[in-house]
Structure 1
Amino acid sequence: MRVLIWILLILALAIGVSLIVGSNEGYVLIVRPPYRLELSLNLLLILVILAFASLHLILRFINYARELPANVRNYRENRRIRKGHAALLEALHALGQGRYQLAQKAASKALDLGEDPSLTALLAARASHKLKQKSQRDYYLAEAERLAPEADVARLLLNAELLLDDRLYSQALAVLKKIEKLEARFAPAMRLELKVQLRLNNWEQVLVLLQQLEKYDGMESWQAREIRHQAHQHLLLRHGSDLNALMAYWKKVPEEDRLNGRVALMGAEAFIKLGAGNQAQEVLEMSLTKQWNSELAAKLGDCHSTNPHKQLQQAEHWLLSHEGDANLLLSLGKMCIRLSLWGKAQSYLEASISVAPSAEAHLTLARLLESRGESDAANRHYRLSVEFCRAE
């Protein structure tokens, strides 16, 4: 529609000009003695228009020639930028697809084209690391430091991650310390340090890092809880040879963690191993009161309490609501043996075997029967115990 309007306007203008020119009989006389020049007015108007158009074109050409070098430079710069962006996108896609050779090549090309070195050099370094080209990886990391010194945190974070992947833990920690100086309490760096400390089994430092990460919302709470429980289990095992050290550490464990089944089990086993039956009983009872755990119930029978009657009474109270728990029945059998309640002990052990037979239940019952002179029955349970051990 727009083109049609312009065509109509040009045609109307042409028709108007032709009508005016056709009816114009005027002339122009130019006298400069001894010369005399006479022109028609129409021709003069045409010459003036042509002269103006020629001058305009000449001036445009001069201006174009003057700006040509700058235009060429701008064109080349824009083309370089477009190629750099395209190479960067290609590197990102290739890295995401696991095509590391292509990613390295594209990132290197983007770097040569002047694309953001804080990104392209690090992409090339990561791709080189995946290709196990360590010299190339170190070269690109050095290039990132040289070309983009302001992006130190990103470069150091990647460097630490790659060192961790190579199991160079001390070097990774040294790099992470540099990040801490640049940006304290940086969650990605703390999460990476957490991985390093886990690999090094530095469980005390793991707990410190978890506390910091939870404080600054740097980790999901469930994930932090799982790692914290794991750390407590290892530290309980580490203190398991010294009762005083074990008790001191157990007091430092937050109540929420002490009630966890896995932590409570490890703590109880450590106290049982050191002959601290009362402490083991307390640990188990606290956790079982919060939430029933059959594995913890199995340990009740191994706790040599100084008040065995109270211990038996508490276990029988739990039996009212967990009568089908084979592990609790086994523990009750062991408690009754310590109290010389032979008939009751045999009943509990046989009930445990009827619910879920196990090597330990058969072995405990076999020893009880042997002590009472029932050799044939004892031998039968000894054989069953061995069979269950082999099966397990």
Structure 2
Amino acid sequence: FIVALGLLLMFVAALWLLIYFIFLPKNLLKNFTSNRSRKSFAKGLLALSEGKWKNAEKLLLTSTKNSPTPELGYMAAARAAIAQNKIEQAFSYLDEAENSTDNPLTVDLTRCELWIKTGKNKQAINLLNRILKSYPNNPRALHLLTQATQNAGHWQRLEEILPKVQRLEVMQEHKVKQLTQHSIVEQLNQAQSASELQSIWKRLNKKQKLELNTIQAFAENGLKLGIYDEVAKVAEQTLNKNFNTDLLEIWARLPVENHEKIKIGEKWLKKQPENAQLLKILGKLCLENKLWGKAKGYLEKSLNLEPSAQTFKLMARYFDTQGESENALEAYRQAEGTSNQLIVIDNNKVIDKTPEQDN
């Protein structure tokens, strides 16, 4: 019995050794090819970082053979292909990557990134929105969506995601604030109807309504869409507290009764007596109301402070109304060259209205 047991044990041991030696070369080969795959992947990434796109693509494709994570090689190869403008090939590699993994999230994010790089922003937005339904706090998806929505001009969607972008610190706070402000301004600029513009303005918070760029966008588009009373109210409230010549120019174009405009403008002039733009606008309003003396005074002072083609043309209009054709021609001539002085011919005597220079 003991002899039989010994023979049995020897047989089992021999069988185990036989199996071991049969499979040993395969294991060694597997380890060898796996090491080659890792080395090819590392060399491919290095070539990619150095801008050697063709070599990188070749090495990265080689690394996918016998790799435990071939999807990584395919995704990196897709980047190398994009760099060579091989668009179809790049997305073919991404398809291979997706077929090589059970979790396509990383592949989908890479696909979106490459879509954005190749101008397919709407496709990227659609996929990123689907990703964020399953992974609502994914930082890379949020970052890519901020890029795609900017590129595609989807300003409302951009504004919607920015609070989460800030909360998760996907982007620096000052950048989030800039993008928020920009998205609001673009929505105001692009509103197609008075009701749409009013709706956007209504949902803004108090702080946002105090931003000058926001106010100007609302006023400019509101003027085009005909909500004159609202634009006048917002513009005048702002100009009373924070005078701005760009907003003043928008306000000046409002079809409001000129006597009321002159009254409001002269109130501002008490606080802004040296503002050439305001003086020019008051001069224009007075011209339209046939207040000749006031018109001349405001326009001359504006020219003394800041000569401009527009103001010279208004001065020429004034001279035309007074029958002073030579003076009008001289003003028109200077409007073309925007001279720094106004030479007025009065009863055959030349009057030089050169602006005073600081000593």
Q: Which residue of 2 aligns with 1:344?
A: 294
Q: CA separation of 1:67/1:276 partners in 2, compared to 1, >3 Å: closer, same or farther?
A: closer
The one-letter code sitting in structure 2 at the alignment partner of 1:259 is L
The one-letter code sitting in structure 1 at the alignment partner of 2:131 is I
Q: CA separation of 1:384/1:225 partners in 2, compared to 1, >3 Å: closer, same or farther?
A: farther
Matches of residues 21-32 of structure 1 in structure 2 within 5 Å? none
Task: Give the whole-Å Cα distance in 2 for the aligned partners of 1:366 and 1:215.
Answer: 58
Q: Which residue of 1 aligns with 2:127?
A: 175
Give the counterpart of 2:139 among 164, 187, 205: 187
Task: Give the whole-Å Cα distance in 1 for the aligned partners of 2:183 and 2:201.
Answer: 13
1:352–1:361: 8 Å Cα contact kept in structure 2?
A: yes
Q: Which residue of 2 aligns with 1:95?
A: 48
Q: Which residue of 1 aligns with 2:101?
A: 148
Q: Which residue of 1 aligns with 2:150?
A: 198
SS of alignment partner, residue 149 of structure 1 = coil
1:273 aligned to 2:242? Answer: no
Task: Give the whole-Å Cα distance in 2 for the aligned partners of 1:370 and 1:243.
Answer: 39
Q: CA separation of 1:246/1:65 partners in 2, compared to 1, >3 Å: closer, same or farther?
A: closer
Unaligned 5+ runs, structure 1: 1-62
Matches of residues 22-101 of structure 1 in structure 2 within 5 Å? 75-101=28-54
Q: CA separation of 1:178/1:203 partners in 2, compared to 1, >3 Å: closer, same or farther?
A: closer
- TM-score of the aligned structures, taking structure 1 as reference length: 0.69
- 1:124: how far off? 0.9
SS of alignment partner, residue 159 of structure 1 = helix
Q: Which residue of 2 aligns with 1:262?
A: 213
1:295–1:327: 8 Å Cα contact kept in structure 2?
A: no
Q: CA separation of 1:283/1:93 partners in 2, compared to 1, >3 Å: closer, same or farther?
A: farther
Q: CA separation of 1:168/1:158 partners in 2, compared to 1, >3 Å: closer, same or farther?
A: same
Q: Which residue of 1 aligns with 2:233?
A: 282
Q: Which residue of 2 aligns with 1:166?
A: 118
2:296–2:315: 8 Å Cα contact kept in structure 1?
A: yes
- 1:112: how far off? 1.4
Percent identity between matched residues is 24
- 1:78: how far off? 4.5
1:332 aligned to 2:282? Answer: yes
Q: Which residue of 2 aligns with 1:230?
A: 182
Task: Give the whole-Å Cα distance in 2 for the aligned partners of 1:180 and 1:316.
Answer: 54
- 1:156: how far off? 0.3
1:361 aligned to 2:311? Answer: yes
Q: Which residue of 2 aligns with 1:44?
A: none
Task: Give the whole-Å Cα distance in 1 for the aligned partners of 2:223 and 2:316.
Answer: 23
Over alpha carbons, which structure has the higher Rg?
1
Q: CA separation of 1:378/1:102 partners in 2, compared to 1, >3 Å: closer, same or farther?
A: same
Q: CA separation of 1:299/1:361 partners in 2, compared to 1, >3 Å: closer, same or farther?
A: farther
Q: How many residues align?
A: 321
What CA deviation, in whole Å up to 9, does each residue of 1:38-68 have, x standing for no partner? xxxxxxxxxxxxxxxxxxxxxxxxx999976
Task: Give the whole-Å Cα distance in 2 for the aligned partners of 1:140 and 1:274.
Answer: 50
Q: CA separation of 1:178/1:81 partners in 2, compared to 1, >3 Å: closer, same or farther?
A: same
1:316 aligned to 2:269? Answer: yes
Q: Which residue of 2 aligns with 1:382?
A: 332
1:298–1:330: 8 Å Cα contact kept in structure 2?
A: no
